[in-house]
Structure 1
Amino acid sequence: MSEPREIQEAKALIEKFKDLKKEISKIIIGQDEVVEQLLISIMSQGHSLLVGVPGLAKTLLINTLAKSLGLQFNRIQFTPDLMPSDIIGAEILDENRKFKFIPGPIFANVILADEINRTPPKTQAALLEAMQEKAVTAAGHRYKLPLPFFVLATQNPIEQEGTYPLPEAQLDRFMFNIVLDYPSRKEEIEIVKRTTSDVSPEVNVVFTEDNIWKASSIIRQLPVTDVIYEYAIDLVRRTRPSDSKAPEITRKFLNWGAGPRASQYLVMAAKAYAFIHGKFTPDVDDVQKMALPVLRHRIVRNYQAEAEGLSTDDIIKKLY
């Protein structure tokens, strides 16, 4: 007996997803978990913040991702003198002495907000409406952004001088905080071999815009048991020091925890993670796999946690 058409379509998308990862690996060596998390955020219609030291190919990764998806890509270099109009666009007086709106670089499908914490809060706030509403307002007029729309931002964890911390409201709009680590020795050898030769692999479009919408639709329709809903929500609630059922580690080491948006993103991410691994309903393991990128930028440690060398990841792992 043949499988239902919906199951066949879902399995075909999963195979296409595997092809997409292979295509990205033509350019990006290693970083498999990072690539997977980025793609999960795309399938979930979410934005991602990438954190890593310079030279880990964050910009190249995002550019390669946009090419393999066939999406329009724009890079915005955030600097201390960047103004909101440099991102959104502005009205100018044309030759007929009429105001005309000139769209800024934010009018694209994939936006790389490079070193987002190097610009003042006023300019950072220009992204808030775009990330939440998929639209921007200029001179009293509202302009819709092209869909799909994703902000993939980078920031450097080392250089603190000349940086401006991202407001909590903006951090909360990022579905994932993805940490890039150094490559392994074997991977670094391969990176150097590729980048010091004249070989330049071409990236093909293997996962189209229609595939993104279809995958997003399927992921939203995946059933979730009440047990998993409760586990995900209780995990988020355990990060809140003010909650009556908060564990001792939360009360001792956290100033505040994650809000309801974290619960939404955690369930959606677990569904997407399950789907790309060939499952049609998430389990506890899927929720735990997605807990770090969803929660690490939504909880704030206190001085005691910093003094004892406890990272946000260390604390989250103790809450599973």
Structure 2
Amino acid sequence: MEPRTAKWWHCLLYLFSIFSILFLFHTQIAHKLLLGHHKLHVKRSSPDLPLRFRSDGTFKILQVFVSLFLGFLVLNVLFNCFCKWVFDFEVVLLILNIEQVADMHYGTGVLTRCRDVLSSEFDYCSDLNTTRFLNRMIQHEKPDFIAFTGDNIFGTSTMDAAESLLRAFGPVTESGVPWAAVLGNHDQESTMTREDLMSFISLMDYSVSQTYPSVEDLSGAGKEHILRDIDGFGNYDLTIYGSAGSHLANTSVLNLYFLDSGDREVTQGAQTYGWIKESQLQWVRGVSNRYQV
């Protein structure tokens, strides 16, 4: 009887061990292997606004350029009223330090392998290389602002666009640095439309992105309204003011224009990339003229 009893105990211990392993795997590990395991939230943290130059006259931008054709960022330094820049014979110096990083094309993290690398590097290169690189750049450069200009995620490499956005922008949301983004032609190739993507991005921590631009109310009441009658999603402008306490504290010193250059278009029966439309140019002209008044 004793050998049979011992076998039963061994069986029970074996089953208990299996169930314990399955329980731990289900509660602690399995959910992390699935896309979408992060809890989504409405923006918890917002940057200190308005954006301003530092007291030493500098404003450092870490600029993530993904494609010259697919993302578009215009830096327009407004030199109107140059005399305002000279106060008591002291000239206000503006220094821009722009770092450029190309094509994140973020997918699912460790499961998305790099392209165009040596065969010996393939097994060790993934989206996590991009994450580590961006983290190092932020820590080393300590920028005041970060701009992502399209193809932030690679839609065909992910089944969950929101999850990929959270992973791709993770380093900047964790850093607390103000940032903004526009879309390329690959961002919307997954599970979200371009409008949904920009709305989601605008709600992420420390993001100052906008889905639609704000325009001044023509009634002259000083109010603004959302302009929806414009091509694309992610057209907006950001104003950078002089440093707090300076004579330029309430003056627009630098203006950043973000434009949606679209994804794909069909012209004369042939498919090609999108472009900046006339409605967007009219909006830019209107905003620029307003700053020059």
TM-based fold match above 0.5: no
How high is the TM-score relative to the length of structure 2? 0.32
Flag the structure with higher strand content.
Answer: 2
Instruction: Tell me which structure has the larger Cα radius of gyration.
Output: 2
How high is the TM-score relative to the length of structure 1? 0.30
Flag the structure with higher helix content.
Answer: 1
